[in-house]
Amino acid sequence: MHNKDELFCPKCLIHDTFFVGGGSWAPDNCPKCKGTDCITYGNLTIIERIKANYLFNKMWKKYQ
């Protein structure tokens, strides 16, 4: 479903599409934990991938 290079929050597994804030002077951050670190989809475990896919689909439907 996701490209192996897509970015997710390593704590919450939220896709970077849903990150908030930032701008030209600060990085975007996770809406749940406010962290700015990211991990690629290719580096997630199978369980983390399942959870990340579920959260992405849930959030995608909510914001459409």
CB 36 within 8 A of CB 28: yes
pLDDT digits (tens, 9 = 90+) for 49-58: 999 999 999 9
What's the CA gap between 26 and 12, in Å, rounded? 20
Give the residue from 3, 5, 4, 17 showing the smallest Cα distance to 56. 17
Task: For the chain, give the mean pLDDT.
Answer: 92
Q: Scan for tokens 């439907």, then name that residue.
A: 61
Instruction: Delimit the domains of the chain by residue range.
Output: 7-62
pLDDT digits (tens, 9 = 90+) for 4-16: 999 999 999 999 9
> Tokens for 44?
């997630």
